[in-house]
Amino acid sequence: MQYVKLQIGCLIVTLYIILTYLRATLKTKIPCNKFFDALMIVAPWAVFFDGLTAWTVNHLEIIPEWLNKYGHLLFFVFMDLTIIVTSLYMYDQIVGFCKEHKKKNFLLFLPGIISLIMIFAGINQIEYIQGKTTFYSMGFSVYVCFISLFLHYGIILGLVVTRHKYLAKDKKFGTVSIIVIVGIVLIAQIIFPEILLTSICAAILLLGIYIEFENPSIRKLTLYNDNMVEGFANLVENRDSNTGGHIKRTRAYVNLILHKMRHDKRYQDIMNKDYLVNVSNAAPLHDIGKIATPDYILQKPGKLTDEEFTIMKKHAACGGEIIQNTFKNLDDAEFEKIAYEVARFHHEKYNGKGYPQGLSGEQIPLHARIMAVADVFDAVSQKRCYRDAMPLDQCFSIIEKGSGTDFDPQIAKIFLDSKEEVVRLMER
């Protein structure tokens, strides 16, 4: 027992986290993350085989050589899998995987595949070294695990550094904290190889990701917040009998534009997973300010007078204020900022002739420029009580003619290049 006390403690911690997580998620039916699911499988086995080999390496006189060797092989494999899975999890949190980027996704898995192959290839070179208090193992496979950790987490740290302007503070802090703590443990293990701290790494990775990202209570609160956002959006739509499915359609167009922009190198840094989710969730709130618009204007079956239109235009600024007052206590500053800017600035024009502030060009937040294209296209392509829906060719023509004046020319081009997909979304 003197050789495996630490591993037993770490195993108890990992199993407790897993059981707590499963109980909470099965009870509330919260969607799970596939990489975290994988981590809950490989991390306990990494700790288990760390403990097993810590015992066998100190009982070489009674343990068959093949058993000791293959026990170490399984330990190295599960430890490397823990490193691979956690790095993929963090990449998914920071950038997000894109199904269409199959080659890029394969390249992300490639270092892990190579390291696993090298572990298998080098297992016969393992050596058992006697330290002052215990035996420990060294050899090619051990070095591969060390290099794998530095490589995978080095890539993640590089992404955090290069994209720090576009990442949420809690996500940056959580990711860096986990990697730094594991790095300190690893350095201590390299300097003092016989202290056998490896199991702590697996436990820290599982515990850190659970606390920072996968805590069921926090995820449940996020779902409640999403439901509240949807409720606000439905409230607006129910008041405005002219706009029907406007919220669902504009959100679909926004998601399409975001998806296309993700493939564009000009927007690669900003189009991370959080940004995509926040803009998509903020899109339904773009007209939230209409809650304060009088019914006689909002539901008027005809063209508005100049005075009425002046009142109608106030919904943009009002929407921003409502979001600031409503969502200020959600502890999600990034979403609040994006939702505020979408609501306040989606009627700004690229040439500076929009409202409420007359912003122009890139003074208008990117997400508001995206919303502007989606909003106008849906407005002209749907029937209203005071006019029929315009023909689709004419609707696309309005976006084309407004490129560079009403709309960001790059976003307008992305939208126009996606005509077939836009039409399919409308039909759906």
Give the active site residues.
290
Separation CA 410–CA 413 (nearest Å): 5
Q: 3-state DSSP call for residue 125?
A: helix
Environment class of 205 (CB within 10 Å of its CB; exposed 0-12, middle 13-18, buried 19+): buried
Instruction: Name, in order, each residue with C-beta under 8 angstroms of 370's C-beta and a sequence gap of 6 or more.
Output: 254, 257, 258, 261, 279, 411
Given a contact cutoff of 8 angstroms between Cβ atoms, the answer to whether 144 and 80 are in contact is yes
Tokens of 152: 């995978």
Angle, helices 169-191/198-209, rounded to nearest 10 degrees: 170
Angle at 207 between CA 170 and CA 198, to 5 degrees: 120
Q: 3-state DSSP call for residue 209?
A: helix
Given a contact cutoff of 8 angstroms between Cβ atoms, the answer to whether 290 and 317 are in contact is no
